[in-house]
Amino acid sequence: MILVNFKAYEETWGEKAVDLAKICQKVANKTGVKIIPVVSALDAVRIMETVKTEVWLQDVDEVFEGAATGAISPIGAKSLRIGGTLLNHSERRKKPGTIKKMLKMWPKNFGVAVCLNSLGQAEGWAKNIKADYIAYEPKYLIGSRDKSVATEKPEVIKKMVKNYPKTPILVGAGIHSAQDVKVSLKLGTAGILISSYIVKSNEPEKRLLELAECF
């Protein structure tokens, strides 16, 4: 499984978000690997209608319904057939208590990948949380082009997999090569979470295909 986080890069504004989602779908169809665009709430429905693919949001708010101007509701997202969301990404951190409260109220069949940036979080407040995926991303490696979670933290990846025997583990932060993917999968992960290596590339399809072919 590959989650491609579009973030708010200029390369994903307007029609470019649809174009990148088409690339994700094309590579998924070619390789048989599940590839999910993780997009802005501004683009989610339009991408789904145009590309006919599952999409996730980059974040949702703790307000599920009610008087909350500007909030992105998990229930509202599900009602639009959006498939799921990231939660607690390093760039959109939430308090542990907020995350636990949200997950207790979580809409059925609305996917969630809870992002953690350390083993301490996994062994502490996040030890028994119920999520569809746990995504391990050391913050200091996010966006790196010469180091990755696979090269720098293989022992932590192994422990994350062991700590969550019933929850698939995704890894991200600095993933930028086929070798990174192969190492991650060998360590027991279910896939990767990736962003700038694909989104900022002049050849996003070529790069995504190279990674997907490692599965």
Angle at the Cα of 133 from the Cα atoms of 132 and 136, rounded to 5 degrees = 160
Selecting among 62, 91, 137, 152, the annotated active-site residue is 137
Comparing C-alpha atoms, which of 38, 116, 103, 43 is closest to residue 74? 103
* Encoded tokens for 196: 């700038």
Separation of alpha carbons 1 and 36, rounded Å: 8
Q: Is 176 a catalytic residue?
A: no
* Angle at CA of residue 180, ends 191 and 131, nearest 5°: 25
Q: Per residue, what are the HEC states of 37-64?
A: EEECCCCHHHHHHHHCCCCEECCCCCCC
Look at strands 2-5 and 191-194 and give their pairing. parallel
Question: What's the burial of 71, exposed, middle or buried (CB within 10 Å: 0-12/13-18/19+)?
Answer: middle
* Length of the chain as a residue count: 215
Q: How far apart are CA 68 and CA 66, in angstroms?
A: 6
Look up tokens 């579009």; give the residue: 6
89 is catalytic: yes
Q: Which of 89, 155, 176, 210 is catalytic?
A: 89
Q: Which residues belong to the active site?
A: 89, 137
